[in-house]
Each structure stands twice: as C-alpha cells, then as structure tokens.
Chain A
Amino acid sequence: MRRPLLLHPVLLIGLGTWALNDHVLKAAFAAGWTGKLSDVASLIAFPLLAAGAFELCTRRGLGRAELPVVAFWSAATGFVMATINTLPDAAWAYRHGLGLAQWLALGAQGTPHTVRLTVDPTDLWTLPALAVPLALAWLRRPPASEGRPVAAPA
C-alpha cells in the first residue's frame, strides 16, 4: 500500500522548509536566497498539498488519477507564480485575495487588508522546482495492471 501523499516526506520537508524560512530565516538573514527558498519550497509543497487534500476525500486514494491531479495543481501553481511576478493586475489580485483569506482566517475582525508582495520576475527561475512534485507523482504511479480485472484461469 502506498504512503498517503499528505504524509510523504517530500511534502513534509517542503512545508517545514517553507514555514521555517518565512517565519525564522527571513527575519534572521534578510537576503535574496531566503526569498527564493520560499518560492522553491512552495512550488514543491503546494501541488502535493492540494493533491493530498483531494486524496483525503477518497476512500482508496487517487490511484492512477494521482499523476494528472498533481500535474493540474503543479500547472496552476506555476501559473500563479508566473503571473503575479509579471502582470500588475495578477499581483493586485494576489495581494487582495491572500489578504482576504488572512482576514477571514483571523476571524474577520476590523477591515480586510492586503498583503505585501514584491513583484520580482527573477522568481520565474524557481519554476523548474515544479519538476519535483511531478517526478514524485510519476514515480508513485501504480503499475498498469492495478485496478484491471484479473483474468480467470482457464
């Protein structure tokens, strides 16, 4: 039986790196590499997290659907990363959308706020990190015979 996506070490390490970098390393070492590290960690962790949430809704896991689901969320994550760092309107939508999500998560007190976003086209250099979740889903795909009816012995 395969390990659930949500408990896979790649996701756990990605999430841990993302949180540690955002809330500790960035404050301690304000440098360009901390910004890029968060981008890389989020590009690895988010598609797996989103696909893992889908997996949670199924009884037997995603099975052969795992690869397309991870591919979809990888593409969506890459699309967001690319547009918010190049298109002012996308950056505006991200700043307001994430601000609204934070405001709701904190109990919707006061007025909704926006979030600070540094538009940096060089962040697009981190997009190849999306190969990690895709490669993981590729390596985890079940054998072609799985799920097919077994032929009755003659």
Chain B
Amino acid sequence: MLRPWATRGLKALVLIAGTATTIATSAPPEFRLTETVDVTREAGQRTSVVLLVDPETVDEYASFTTEITISSTEDFGLLTVVPSGTEASSPARVEEPTLGADGLYTASMDVWSEPECYEGGVWCSNVIAVETAEDVPHELTIAGHVVQNQEFEEGARFIMEVE
C-alpha cells in the first residue's frame, strides 16, 4: 500500500503524462505556405496546377505535402482530380465542393505526384489536373499549399503555375 503522498504524486504524474499525450497526439503541427491565384474558366475546361517547390524551402525533402484548394461563390459541381506521375501518385478521384460558413463552395484535395527533380536543378514539382463539371462558374480561386510540420524559414516561398 502506497503512502498518501506517494499516491498523490503518482496521480499528478499520470495526469501530466495524460495531458501531454493528449496535446502531443498524432496530429502533428502543421505549417503552411500558401499561394493564391484567381482564374476564369470555361465550362468543362481542364485546369493544370503545378507546384514548384525548392528543396531549400522545406525542412526535409520527404516531409512536406501539397494541397490544392479550389473555391468559388457558386457551386462548381464535381471536380475530377488527376494527379500526374506514376504508380506512386495518388489515384484520380472525384471531389465534391462543400458550402462553408464563409459562403464559399470549397473543394480541398491533398495530392501527391511522384516529384520530378529537374536534372541538376533545384526545383521539384507536384502536378495535378483538375477538370470541372459542366456547370462550372467563370471565376475560381485556386490556392496551393505546401505543408510541413516545421516552421518555414523567413522568406520561404514556392511557385504555382496554373494553366
């Protein structure tokens, strides 16, 4: 039988450990770099989004992920997301926008294509193509995100190309 002070100490220790486990749970910190571009699209027009990420920008080459968010004030129907690359890429899929509290229809997709590091260069790319449904509105806001669990260096950025 433990003495009362030892029991109290053990309980406090478990409470601290439990709180730490809850806060430092598997959801790791997430830091984002975001670039945004507004585009005008025709119905069914295919949009290619290329994120060019400098390896110097991210903490560790394998640790970052990329996301694309497409939003509009109008419902743009279903999106067909076709990541480029090989078997290592995420499969093509269909995304449906949801209406958020901000009044915007938004579809978010995390994408990974097999990165292509240019020969002798510094840039790597993650590429997806997005094909909107027939009832696509004319104005879309496309945001690209580079996400990692370490803070980005000051001045870090990436390039997003939308065609």
Contacts and interface: CB of A to CB of B under 8 A. Distances in A.
Interface of A: 4, 6-7, 11-12, 15, 18-19, 21-23, 26, 35, 38, 42, 45-46, 49, 52-53, 56, 88-89, 94-95, 98-99, 101-102, 105, 110, 113-117
A123 B17 CA distance: 25
Contacts of B20: 105
Interface string B11-33: 11011011111111111111110
Nearest to B17: A15
Determine the main DSSP class of A at the interface with B: helix
B30 A15 contact: no
Given A89-B100, A98-B25, 16 more contacts: A4-B7, A7-B10, A18-B21, A19-B17, A22-B21, A22-B24, A38-B26, A49-B18, A56-B11, A98-B23, A99-B30, A102-B29, A113-B30, A116-B28, A116-B29, A116-B147
Q: Bin chain B's interface residue count.
A: 20 to 34
15 contacts: A6-B10, A6-B14, A7-B7, A15-B14, A21-B26, A38-B25, A49-B14, A89-B101, A94-B27, A95-B27, A101-B23, A113-B31, A115-B30, A116-B29, A117-B27
A22 B7 contact: no
Interface string B104-137: 0000000000000000000000000000000000
Nearest to B32: A114
Contact of A11 (B14, B24, B25, B149): B14
B155 to A, nearest CB: 15
Contacts of B12: 56
A145 B91 CA distance: 62
Contacts of B59: none
Contacts of A12: 14
